[in-house]
Structure 1
Amino acid sequence: MRRNSLWMVSTMAALVLLFSYRTSTGESAATVTVAATPAGEGQSFSGDTVPTREGDVQVVITVADGRITSVSVPVYPTGSQRHDEISARAIPELVEATLAAQSAEIDSVSGATYTTGGYRESLQSAIDAAGI
């Protein structure tokens, strides 16, 4: 009887801990666009949609006067809480790095290796399409 009581209390404690555990801040990734110039200026170029182990990635850049003026990421890994959290953290870092570097030669985001690889590949194809 004592064993059953101990087992029951342990099981209940585990269930309470399991259901009260929160892994998300409630934020979700959305299409991220960062612009250095007003919207509508320049010409947009879409990169290839690159399949990665974690999901597809596509980058769209706007170019004005031979410079990347804005970057958006309409396609990125999503569909699970883990993917949403990684994308919400990694994509803004990748966009900012792109605007600073003006190329696809940017550092990887820690914890988002596959997303970074797909982002770079898509970005490079958009840069190639823009001819810069």
Structure 2
Amino acid sequence: MRRTLITTGTTVAGVVLLLSMKPHHQASSATPPPAPGPSASGTSGPETSGQGGDGTAPAANGTFKGQSVDTEYGPVQVEITMSNGRLTAVRVLSAPSEDGRDREISAFSLPKLTKQAIAAGSANIDTVSGATYTSEGYITSLQSALDSARA
């Protein structure tokens, strides 16, 4: 009887603690991008279409290279294409490819990351399960390219 009470009490306490935890809150893609930081090296210069009538910065056009990010399994670098200030394409310039497993992870994760990035129009995307290091390198390189485009 005593064991049953202790087990039940412990289980109830565990469930209460588990339910009291706040769920992971993901920011919506409608969140404005962060302020541009310093320009990454190796980026191409932006082509602009002039300043908007509302006094905003001109819309970026062209291709911009993100910084090469060293991950635990190799470097990741992307290049983006901007049209009228919108992200229209992402091309992976380098990704981990040391062995077959690295190439396999890159093959399944990079298309998913690219699809998310274009849909979001920003670097505010989720990492791909099983490709955390590659995803984080991709997101960092993508953000640096976006910062260059908005500089």
Please say whether Structure 1 and Structure 2 have the same fold, judged by a TM-score greater than 0.5.
yes
Q: Counterpart in 2 of 1:83? A: 102
Q: Does 1:60 align with 2:79?
A: yes
What is residue 122 of structure 2 aligned with on the other side? Answer: 103
- The question of whether the paired residues in 1 share the 8 Å contact of 2:69 and 2:137 is answered with yes
2:98 is paired with a residue whose SS is coil
Partner of 1:124: 143
Structure 2 counterpart of 1:77, one-letter code: P
1:12-41 alpha-carbon deviations (Å, 9 max, x no partner): xxxxxxxxxxxxxxxxxxxxxxxxxxxxxx
Quick one: which amino acid aligns to residue 120 of structure 1? I
Cα distance in 2, alignment partners of residues 104 and 129 from structure 1: 13
Matches of 1:52 and 1:129, distance apart in 2: 21
Higher helix share: 1
TM-score (norm 2): 0.59
TM-score calculated relative to the size of structure 1? 0.67
1:1-60 alpha-carbon deviations (Å, 9 max, x no partner):
xxxxxxxxxxxxxxxxxxxxxxxxxxxxxxxxxxxxxxxxx4000000000001100010
2:65 to 33, 46, 56: 46
Other structure's SS at 1:51 match? strand
* Structure 1: gaps spanning 5 or more residues: 1-41
Any runs of at least 4 consecutive aligned residues in structure 1 with deviations exceeding 6 A, and if so which? none
Instruction: After TM superposition, give the deviation of residue 117 of structure 1 in Å.
Output: 0.5
Identity of aligned residues (%): 49
Q: How many aligned residue pairs are there?
A: 91
RMSD between aligned residues:
1.0
- Please give the alpha-carbon distance, in whole angstroms, between the structure 2 residues aligned to 1:45 and 1:131: 10
